[in-house]
Amino acid sequence: MQSPKLLRNAQTQHGDASSVDVENIFLHRHMLSTNPTSGVNLHDREDNPKCVWFPDDQDGSPAESKDPPISISEAKSETQSKEVLPEKRKASSTDDEGYVKKVKLDANGLKTKRPGFSDERYDETSYYFENGLRKVYPYFFTFTTFAKGRWVDEKILDVFVREFRAAPPEEYERSLEAGKLTVNSEKVPKDYRIKHNDLLANVVHRHEVPVTSQPIKIVYMDKDIVVVNKPASIPVHPCGRYRHNTVVFILAKEHNLKNLRTIHRLDRLTSGLLLFGRTAEKARELELQIRTRQVQKEYVCRVEGRFPDGIVECNEKIDVVSYKIGVCKVSPKGKDCKTTFKRIGEVGSDSIVLCKPLTGRMHQIRVHLQYLGYPISNDPLYNHEVFGPLKGRGGDIGGISEEQLISNLISIHNAETWLGLEEDQIVSGEIKDAAASTSVVENPINSETEKPVITQNLEPSNEIATQTCYEEPDRSFDSKKATSDPQCSECKLNYRDPGTKDLIMYLHAWKYKGVGWEYETELPDWACNSNIDYDQV
């Protein structure tokens, strides 16, 4: 007898707001019917709009304004010592400012930028390829955490049911009984009350979400830096349900590039240039350039409608609506932002737009385009009616509060079904064999159609395969590598493969230029379907 169809969160497979994955939320239009409250407008428009249209022959990148220097000097009273306290001030010169920031990075860079994964972690599982997707064999993984203060004196089962909702309560109860969920490496009863400094460990059978099978191409590499062209759908580093299907794990496992330092990041659905440091010194140097806005970045995107002529500059502040779900919006209480846009081509009723972010806020390009009324054509989040009938144009979110917006976003995120069950099919507790594991995928991605990587202003390096000991992974499913767990609920589910529309967003990091360096990638296919002379852009 088959169990009824179960709805699980598409990205995290979780069923609760607390498990929402910051990077991977996306929405489908048919999942929400907005009914905004009439007559409510939370955003009073300013008299002087901050979106400025520049004609083609003007420069839309005025110099950035600097904060005025702050000087604080206080002398002691006459009744006290005549010593004067050292003056406290904000550095007024660029050199001083850079020195201060560099000291801060030097203090923390090594600790925060070194992944530190061992070979044992990399060897937990391996990949196979199917329907244009890179898949990971399910594997056993131990989650560990020290007890938080709010958990003390609470029953361990109650804590896991409330705090970790990746599995149903009965599964945690079974794990306690089987000794898979332990405290300080010891089996405990389900009514065990957590104490200070307890080390909790839970062994789970982990199933990762498929990503595109397109290869991560290396644009440039030397002893200090690695520059890659990240395909859409692959997260930069482990997060949520992604671990081995991430850029840092794939580079380590397939190119022997381990312990890379993250310099910056791209959203999971964004493709393009991604820089890693191979040494702590180089990582800090490049990160400092990015932080001090010495790096010129150019992105290409495809937006709805015919974008205006000339250079469009948007200076609207951006605020994070919720750090939990990673959603932003234009708001007067946000942080300063600046992006310039220019239409460089058209594809049907859409426009190809060149984007130059002068600041580096979260989702900056996507949010500014939403505000201007030209959202990225297939942006699953910011091109959605959850932001109101105007989909956030001009800051209009349909008269609802930010709290209601967050609630709607979480509800829709938890109802995602692109990885839903295939019809009502439930598989046995054993992993499917190669034939049974094949499922229908919508418009699979062809990884063979990519063009060669473009590398400019760089001396040729040795063959990448030679430098990294790269070996093409075994692309076929091997039932001998599959594992199963009779207590794993996901082993009993048959998830539908994601289609092309679930894996790609029309936003690509094209060019980065810093002090003494410049890198450029090839353009994705969606940006090449128009008569654009990119050499003249």
Active site residues: 267
Per-residue tokens: 505: 């967003």
What are the angstrom distances between the C-alpha of 57 and each of 97, 309, 512? 34, 11, 24
Beta bridge partners of residue 202, listed in sequence order: 143, 181
Rounded to 5 degrees, what are φ and ψ at 182? Answer: -125, 165
- Which residue reads 């069950």 in tokens? 421
- Which among 327, 336, 219 has a CA at the least distance from the CA of 271? 219
CA quadruple 394, 395, 400, 404: dihedral, nearest 10: 140
d(CA 193, CA 152) in angstroms, rounded, equals: 7
Per-residue tokens: 228: 């890659």
How many angstroms from the chain centroid is the CA of residue 441?
24
Question: Which helix or strand (DSSP H or E) is residue 333 part of?
Answer: none
The answer to whether 521 and 534 have CB atoms below 8 angstroms apart is no
Pinpoint the alpha helices (H) of 28-142.
94-113, 119-122
d(CA 43, CA 174) in angstroms, rounded, equals: 50
Beta bridge partners of residue 342, listed in sequence order: 311, 354
Q: Is 433 exposed, middle or buried (0-12, 13-18, 19+ CB in 10 A)?
A: exposed
Residues 6+ apart with CB under 8 A from 298: 354, 355, 356, 510, 511, 512
> End-to-end CA distance of the chain, in Å?
61
